[in-house]
Amino acid sequence: MSAYSVTIGGETFSVVLKSRSGDTLTFTVNDREYTVPITTTRTAAHSQVTITPLPKGSVQRGASPSSVALPPEIKAPLPGIIADIKVNVGDTVSAGGTLVVIEAMKMENPIKAPADLRVTQVHVRKGQEIPNGAVIISVEPT
């Protein structure tokens, strides 16, 4: 984990990068967790992560993870085997709730909801081997 002190408009925030997996970045800002999609451009020498700032005033202070833009599909952040599926089509899940568990290298990795959502389709089955970036669940905001 990497920790930063970020000052924006005279206000200082404590930012901790928790993980970067595939096209997802998970971090905390002043102890609130956020998971957001990112754009990665690969070059011969390195990967460059582009985070586009939102217009001033478009993000409210104290925004909860449920206010994070919800992608229509939840993708696997790592390759592995589906160890458990915690949701069914039609279920509503609060931000941070576990959707599926992926086993990789004998470790169980819970895949959590990035925001409040409703499950519209489950694309995997228990015991299925999946690659990094595979679509595991389709969702819509609640």
Distance CA 91, CA 118 (A): 6
> Residue range 43-53: average pLDDT?
52
pLDDT at 142: 85
Q: Given a cut of 80, is residue 22 above it in pLDDT?
A: no
pLDDT at 48: 52
> Residue range 20-48: average pLDDT?
68
Q: What are phi and psi of 54, to 5 degrees?
A: -85, 155
pLDDT at 1: 57
| Neighbour-count burial of 82, counting CB atoms closer than 10 A to its CB (0-12 exposed, 13-18 middle, 19+ buried) | buried
Task: Give the CATH number of domain 73-141; options: 2.30.300.10, 3.60.10.10, 2.60.40.10, 2.40.50.100.
Answer: 2.40.50.100
Tell me: the pLDDT tens digits for 100-134? 999 998 899 999 988 889 999 999 999 999 998 89
pTM over 0.85: no
Which of 133, 125, 117 is CA-nearest to residue 100? Answer: 125
pLDDT at 41: 54
Distance between alpha carbon 10 and the CA centroid of its chain, in Å? Answer: 28
Kindly report, as residue ranges, where domains of CATH 2.40.50.100 are found in the chain. Answer: 73-141
